[in-house]
Amino acid sequence: MKTWFITGISRGLGRALAQAVVARGDAVIGTVRGTPPELHGHVKILTLDTGDAASIPAAVDQAFAHTGRIDVLVNNAGYGLLGALENATDRELERLFAVDLLGPIRIIRAALPRLRAQRAGHIINITSIAGRAPGSASAAYSGAKGALEMVSAGLSQELRPFGIHVTAVAPGAFRTDFLAATSIQKSATANYDSTGVAAFDAMNGNQLGDPDRAARAILDITDSPTPPLHLLLGSDALNRMRAKLAAVTDEIDRYEAITRSTDFA
């Protein structure tokens, strides 16, 4: 039986994952900010706001104290901020990066001494396709999730000697309440085309992704002896990433001469 520490299990992908984990007989230590979900099985609920730096060490200590070890650590808690970057306030940006980027980093740092002592474990950071292939009206959110992607990539190299795996999971649009008021905030769109935000509104309830299938996919990679560093979830994420890679390759090729011109002759 594995023990999972999952942040943000009250709704959405986090809840679907927690349900899938306990359904197969594993244990879940999950965090919520408010009312805990009804989950049956080996479940312990902790109250944690991942944007509150001071509360994180104690929560991680509680998690390890409960079972003595953590096999899979999932940084899932987070939310979105939509709208023009110019119009986002400092307070909005600071809160977004505190929850979506610094929170996961702080949780990982708090857990690493014990994970290294175990010489085993799997850290899964839930990012977003927006962090790999950004779109309109999501520059701030893309920045936070893109940074978590790069943190994951560098961290995986640091932790490889200790037998600890790292995976950045980038979902596309999944049919959860992520686009509802509970998980999304909107900054002003004055002076900008608001079609980007409107597209998110129109998508709500019609997303392609099934959160239960996403949960099963995450379970699958934790059972693999060679899990991926980067994992896309959803055909929409796959299509966006392929288009992004094609555009990046094209741009590199077009400007190759300038790139090479900066070397010493």
Write out pLDDT tens, residues 1-29: 999 999 999 988 999 999 999 999 999 99
| Separation between Cα atoms, residue 156 and residue 233, nearest integer Å | 20
Task: Note the pLDDT tens digit of each residue in 123-158.
Answer: 999 999 999 999 888 899 999 999 999 999 999 999
Is residue 102 within 8 Å of 77, Cβ to Cβ? no
Residue 183 has what pLDDT? 46
Cα–Cα separations (whole angstroms), residue 93 to 50, 103, 141, 195: 15, 14, 9, 21
Residue 204 has what pLDDT? 64
Which residues are marked as active site? 141
Mean pLDDT of 83-103: 94
Residue 176 has what pLDDT? 60
Residue 209 has what pLDDT? 81
For the question of whether the overall pTM of this predicted structure is more than 0.85, the answer is: yes
Long-range contacts of 26-32 (CB under 8 A, 24+ apart): 26/1, 26/2, 27/1, 27/2, 27/3, 27/67, 28/3, 28/4, 29/3, 29/4, 29/5, 29/62, 29/63, 29/66, 29/67, 29/70, 30/5, 30/6, 31/6, 31/7, 31/59, 31/77, 32/8
CATH code linked to domain 3-235: 3.40.50.720
pLDDT category at 41 given cuts 50, 70, 90 is confident
Task: Note the pLDDT tens digit of each residue in 100-111.
Answer: 999 999 999 999
Domain ranges of the chain: 3-235
- What is the identity of the amino acid at 261? S
> Does residue 179 surpass a pLDDT of 60?
no
